[in-house]
Amino acid sequence: MSAMAIGWIAFACVFGGALLGMFLRGVLPEHHLSQDSKDVVKLGMGLLGTTAALVLGLLIASAKSSFDTQNTEVKQAAANIVLLDRALAQYGPETKDARD
């Protein structure tokens, strides 16, 4: 799935949630709209936001670790190829076909 598709899906979910919230505000009983209820919702949203930030941070750290590992492997493979080329060069012109 492309990044644009994921972005549009996320936008649709947020927009749909906002519309649902506006609809529910008119339908909910008054005691659900008290200050205590709003405070509980704010606490829940804060907890959810903190958890999401923590998960995203761990995801980014994992992706960077994976990238660094692959980068190191590519550099090691390139160094091994250079060493092999130099070793073959010591054998003289007989290894020219293998080196090219």
- 29-56 pLDDT, tens digit per residue, is 888 888 998 899 999 999 999 999 999 9
Tell me, yes or no, whether 39 and 17 share the same domain. Answer: no
Domain holding 77, by residue range, is: 34-100
Claim to verify: residue 26 and residue 69 sit in the same structural domain: no
Q: Tell me the chain's radius of gyration from C-alpha atoms.
A: 29
Q: Are residues 53 and 100 in the same domain?
A: yes
| One domain, residues 8 and 40 | no
Same domain? For 83 and 38 the reply is yes
* Higher pLDDT pick, 42 / 98: 42
Task: Please give the model's pTM, rounded to 2 decimal places.
Answer: 0.60
Q: Are residues 68 and 23 in the same domain?
A: no
HEC letters along the chain: CCHHHHHHHHHHHHHHHHHHHHHHHHHCCHHHHCHHHHHHHHHHHHHHHHHHHHHHHHHHHHHHHHHHHHHHHHHHHHHHHHHHHHHHHCCCHHHHHHHC
Query: What is the count of structural domains for the chain?
Result: 2
18 with 61, same domain? no
Q: Are residues 48 and 15 in the same domain?
A: no
**Distance between CA 20 and CA 10 in Å, rounded?**
15
